[in-house]
Amino acid sequence: MPLSSSSLGEGPLDLRKGFSRVGKDQVAKEHPAQEDGSSTLGMKIQRKIRLKDVAELAGVAVNTASTILNRRPNSWASKETEARVFKAANELGYRPSKTARALQSGRYHSIGLLIQDLTNPFFSTLADELEAAVEERGYDLIVENCRSSLVRERHLFNDLTDLEVDGMVVWLSDNSAFEDELASAFKGPLPFVALGCGSSSLPIPVDSVVSNFTEGLQQAVDATFDLGHRRYAFLSALAEGQADGSRPDLLTRMLAEKGVPRSSIQILRSSHSIDSACETVTSFLNSCGDERPTALFAINDLSAIGAMRAAIECGLHVPKDLSIVGVDDVPMASYLPVTLSSIRQRYRKITRAAADLLIARIEGTVEDPTVPTQVIFPTHFVARESVGPAVS
């Protein structure tokens, strides 16, 4: 999602277009002039303006032009040539080729973000925020969307270096499944930051920014318990160990401390999508008779919405018959017709921290590069309409 951060400095450089590609048949090798000849079809074809053209117009050598346009620190061109070069660049509408630059310098000025599902508001918000964060620092964001496919995820993660970015921010659906790759990738030359999942599951030596779900979950448990809930359901990920702030065992333990037995806690499994959650919960609710839970914790807000829908379809009222808690606190949560209680993650802080960490790595401004940094942000429970007193 690059907002072209033209490296031409403050030179006004009108935003006129510098069209590229001259077709296979380039005429006149050395004379870029030709003043845009019209093709047979009436389309203007204009060859790409190269640095060389600018240099020629300004009457300097290409490297001189390069140095000037890039405002390189050491090399001091005279004010006069500098002006000539800027003028020429402006006149021709010169736009540097990122590709050539990247090939030569090995720097891409862009950062990748690996996510599971762009369709999930959590991830799209994350991407949006991260983009803003890295852009402030002069990088473009390239989103790698796994589209909920695990094979795609593994594929993409293993091919990170194909990406040709300066660094990666990765959200993995299951860190433990990638433990080895993560550790070895961290030793590799491509800087990256692991995001999000696993309060505890990161003994892996990797730069990371995670949310600590213990606090938020504890608050949610306290709140629901105080409202009289004694039978719980937990809507978890499809596979054991998958990204999952409020892991089943964590919840079970917290509830156990309050005297809620394991037998009063139902663990449901679905994928992270809204429809899958709805399906799972519907069939669960249809089959659980009297022992129906009064509170349901979902793995994320999307699933929570699906669960809420399922409850409603089953003729239950939220929160009277079933209280529902999500995770993430996506922006939409507070606008739903029944607002969703959720365990809030600090998007903004997470993305800023990730950007800082990663860019420090990239630019080498990190004290000891061998030791990984871990940033942990607290979460907290936000109570909204979807949670109410238990009516057992």
Q: Quick check: helix, strand or coil at residue 42?
A: coil
145 binds, among a copy of itself, DNA, none (CB under 5 to 8 A by kind): a copy of itself
Burial class (CB in 10 A: 0-12, 13-18, 19+), 93: middle
| Contact region with DNA (CB under 7 A), list: 20-28, 35-43, 125-133, 283-291 | 20-28
Instruction: Give ∠ CA 215-284-174 in degrees, rounded to 5.
Output: 45
> What element of type H or E holds 193?
strand 192-196
User: Rule CB under 8 A: is residue 160 a binding residue for a copy of itself?
Assistant: yes
Nearer to a copy of itself, 97 or 201 (CB): 97
Count of residues near a copy of itself by CB under 8 A: 75
**Minimum CB distance to DNA, residue 144 (Å):** 21
The one among 267, 312, 314, 383 contacting a copy of itself by CB under 8 A: 312
Q: Which residue from 331, 333, 313 is spatially nearest to 322, judged by alpha carbons?
A: 313
Segment 204 to 263, residues that bind a copy of itself, using CB under 8 A: none
Give yes or no for residue 13 binding DNA (CB under 7 A). no
The option from a copy of itself, DNA, none interacting with 62 (CB < 5 to 8 A, set by class) reads DNA
Token pair in block for residue 123: 């991830």
- Residue 366 near residue 360, CB atoms below 8 Å: yes
End-to-end CA distance of the chain: 50
Rounded to 5°, the CA angle 358-362-365 comes to 95
DSSP structure class, residue 343: E
**Signed CA dihedral, 124, 125, 130, 132: sign only:** positive
Q: Please state, in angstroms and rounded to a whole number, the distance separating the CA atoms of residues 340 and 331.
A: 10
Residue 24 touching DNA (CB under 7 A):
yes
Say which DSSP state 326 is in: E
Shortest distance (Å) from residue 53 CB to DNA: 8
Nearer Cβ to a copy of itself, position 102 or 238? 102
- 383 makes contact, choosing from a copy of itself, DNA, none, with CB < 5 to 8 Å by partner type, with none
Determine, following the binding rule CB under 8 A, whether residue 380 of this chain makes contact with a copy of itself: no
Q: Closer to a copy of itself by CB, 2 or 241: give it.
A: 2
- Which of 34, 158, 200, 283 binds a copy of itself (CB under 8 A)? It is 158
Give Rg (Cα) of the chain.
27
Q: In this chain, which of 12, 15, 23, 29 binds DNA, going by CB under 7 A? A: 29
The binder of 320, among DNA, a copy of itself, none, by C-beta within 5 to 8 A per type, is none
Instruction: Pick from 56, 144, 244, 329 the residue near a copy of itself by CB under 8 A.
Output: 144
Tell me the backbone φ, ψ of residue 353, rounded to 5 degrees: -60, -45
Give the nearest distance from C-beta 354 to DNA in angstroms: 26
Look at residue 31 and give the partner it binds from a copy of itself, DNA, none, a contact being a CB closer than 5 to 8 Å depending on partner kind: none
Q: What track of x and - describes contact with a copy of itself for positions 272 through 311 (by CB under 8 A)?
A: --xx--x--------------------------xx-xx--
Is 110 one of the binding residues for DNA (CB under 7 A)?
A: no
Burial class of residue 287 in the structure, from the number of CB atoms within 10 Å of its CB (0-12 exposed, 13-18 middle, 19+ buried): exposed
Residues in the chain: 392
Our finding on whether 6 is near DNA (CB under 7 A) is no
262/249 Cα distance (integer angstroms): 10
* From 56, 57, 96, 390, residue interacting with DNA (rule: CB under 7 A): 96
8 binds a copy of itself (CB under 8 A): no
- Pick the binder of a copy of itself from 12, 25, 42, 392 (CB under 8 A): 42
Pick from 120, 113, 114, 145: nearest CA to 271: 120
Structure tokens at 133: 């964060």
Residue pair 295/323 in contact (Cβ under 8 Å)? The answer is yes
Give the separation between CA 361 and CA 367, rounded to whole angstroms: 10
- Each residue 60-89 as x (binds DNA by CB under 7 A) or -, in order, gives xxxxx-xx-xx-x--xxxx-xx--------
Contacts to DNA by CB under 7 A: 7, 20, 24, 26, 29, 47-52, 59-64, 66-67, 69-70, 72, 75-78, 80-81, 94-97, 100-101, 103-105
